[in-house]
């Protein structure tokens, strides 16, 4: 699905300041909130879309990347968006409390205690040659990691933050409002259940720092476009001692100038002369990674006929045999002839088609020759 412009989603100008962007998001969140649009899939999608737009535009670094490189710039930095509704309400609990006077509609804010970090996505482009042989790639991702100075606690020296006195470590407070019991995110600890009293100087009490990390990715031969590799524990660091998320490397196959792929099989076209096609000769054809290979042309071949060479396709991911290579013949008629070639062609023409034509009774009995068309060549 093509992503829309974040500024267009929030209906703000590119020059909008933070306060304008926040007000625009509050308006969108109020309009498409799930509690106001029960069982409305479209409203839910718009709600998630607005949350992602606000997450990017409220962060100066993410906004800078987006303004410079668009959605691709965010992908390369490891930004993946929200994993679900709970993630959105956890991130913007203060906004939703303001919208609904504390009523969260069954969507609580951040839960206290350890929480795993977010999974990240990295889009990796590979050539067909790299896919055929397998490939090793070192990628660099930007991510939020647990602070090494405080072990992710946010407290100087790695000490545990103190239990919040307002919510008793629950991360939420409840109060009576008419006939309802309203549960809201604790204003003191903002849903964490713990309060940092002596902030770590390295992360300023956040427990997390931004880092760039190089990761070696081993791509197996035969992987397909759209498949992904899971790199365990290479995502963002967890919260309050929670484990890290995972990194998913999504493969994108770069279109090849000569070969087209269909599963494990490869397809290409090959020009041959009219003489080679008529006589049925052997020519050399370039394979993807095995160098030039002999191709036996059946005598009397026409343009469009396909010849298979076994075992010159791609390997299977699970150790299956390699696919095949299919070569479609393109018979080339010479545009210029030298004197001798012209004499021979005229001599052949003088013989006439009648001598080569079968007798009427033979012609009636003969079956028409079918052209072989396979895979992409049948399109």
Q: Residue 363 — pLDDT band, cuts 50, 70, 90?
A: low
From 104, 130, 146, the end of a domain falls on 104
Beta-bridge partners for 92: none
* Residue 167, annotated as binding a ligand: yes
Say if 281 falls within a structural domain.
yes
Is 5 assigned a ligand-binding role in the annotation?
no
pLDDT at 45: 84
Does a structural domain hold residue 134? no
The number of angstroms, rounded, from the C-alpha of 7 to the middle of its chain's C-alpha atoms is: 23
| Boundary residue ending a domain (87, 104, 121) | 104
The pTM (predicted TM-score) of the whole model is 0.60
Last residue of a domain, one of 42, 72, 104: 104
Any idea what DSSP says for residue 103?
A: -
The pLDDT value recorded for residue 64 is: 87
DSSP secondary structure letters along 218-278: EEPTT--TT-EEEETT-S---BTTPPP--EEEEEEEPPPSS-EEETTEEEEEEEEEHHHHH
81 occurs within a structural domain: yes
Q: What is the CATH number of the domain that holds 94?
A: 1.10.287.110
Q: Determine which of 15-19, 98-102, 216-220, 244-248 has the lowest per-residue pLDDT on average.
A: 98-102
Rounded to 10 degrees, the C-alpha dihedral 201/202/208/209 comes to 150
| 15 in any annotated domain | yes
Q: What is the pLDDT of residue 267?
A: 97
Instruction: Report residue 292's pLDDT band, with 50, 70 and 90 as the boundaries.
Output: very high
pLDDT for the residue 330: 95
For residue 354, what pLDDT is reported? 44
Q: Is residue 189 marked as binding?
A: yes
User: Residue 159 — pLDDT band, cuts 50, 70, 90?
Assistant: confident
Q: Which residue has the higher pLDDT, 193 or 13?
A: 13
Tracing tokens 């100038």 back to the chain, one arrives at 257
Mean pLDDT score, 191-198? 85
Percent over 90 (pLDDT), the chain? 35
In a domain, residue 136? The reply is no
Which comes out higher in pLDDT, residue 265 or 207? 265
- What pLDDT does residue 31 have? 87
CATH number for 274: 2.60.260.20
Mean pLDDT of 212-217: 94
Find all residues with CB under 8 Å of 267, minimum gap 6, and list them.
259, 260, 261, 325, 326, 327, 328, 375, 376, 377
**Which pLDDT band holds residue 263 (cuts at 50, 70, 90)?**
very high
Q: What pLDDT is stored for residue 109 in this prediction?
A: 42
Domains held by the chain: number: 2
The domain of 44 spans 1-104
**Each residue of 304-347: pLDDT tens digit?**
999 999 999 999 987 789 999 999 999 998 888 888 888 888 88
Predicted local confidence at residue 259, as pLDDT: 97
pLDDT tens for each residue of 96-121: 544 444 333 334 444 455 678 888 99
| Structural domain contains residue 205 | no
pLDDT for position 352: 64
Q: Is residue 294 part of a domain?
A: yes
């Amino acid at each position: 699905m093509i992503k829309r412009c974040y500024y267009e989603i929030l209906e703000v100008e590119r020059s909008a300041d933070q306060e304008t962007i926040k007000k625009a998001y509050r308006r969108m969140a109020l309009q498409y909130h799930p509690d106001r649009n029960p069982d409305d899939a479209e409203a839910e999608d718009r709600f998630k879309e607005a949350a992602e737009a606000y997450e990017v535009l409220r962060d100066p670094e993410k906004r800078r990347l987006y303004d410079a490189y668009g959605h691709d710039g965010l992908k390369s930095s490891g930004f993946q968006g929200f994993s679900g509704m709970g993630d959105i309400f956890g991130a913007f609990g203060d906004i939703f409390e303001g919208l609904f006077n504390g009523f969260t509609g069954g969507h609580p804010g951040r839960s206290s205690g350890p929480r795993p970090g977010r999974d990240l996505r990295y889009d990796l482009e590979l050539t067909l040659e790299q896919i055929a042989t397998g490939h090793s790639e070192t990628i660099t991702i930007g991510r939020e990691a647990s602070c090494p100075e405080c072990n992710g606690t946010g407290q100087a020296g790695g000490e545990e933050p103190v239990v919040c006195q307002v919510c008793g470590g629950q991360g939420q407070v409840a109060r009576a409002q008419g006939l309802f019991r309203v549960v809201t995110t604790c204003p003191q600890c903002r849903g964490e259940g713990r309060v940092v009293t002596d902030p770590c100087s390295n992360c300023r009490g956040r427990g997390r720092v931004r880092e760039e990390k190089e990761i070696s990715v081993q791509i197996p031969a035969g992987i397909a476009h759209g498949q992904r590799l899971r790199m365990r524990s290479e995502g963002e660091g967890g919260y309050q001692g929670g484990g890290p998320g995972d990194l998913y490397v999504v493969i994108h196959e770069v279109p090849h100038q000569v070969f087209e792929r269909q599963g494990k099989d490869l397809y290409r076209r090959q020009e041959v002369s009219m003489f080679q096609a008529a006589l049925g000769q052997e020519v050399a054809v370039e394979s993807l990674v095995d160098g030039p290979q002999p191709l036996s042309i059946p005598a009397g071949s026409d343009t469009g006929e396909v010849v298979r060479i076994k075992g010159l396709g791609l390997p299977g991911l699970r150790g299956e045999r390699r696919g095949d290579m299919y070569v479609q013949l393109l018979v080339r008629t010479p545009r210029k002839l030298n004197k001798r070639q012209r004499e021979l062609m005229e001599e052949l023409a003088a013989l006439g088609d009648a001598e080569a034509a079968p007798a009427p009774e033979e012609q009636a009995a003969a079956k028409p020759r079918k052209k072989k068309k396979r895979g992409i060549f049948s399109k």
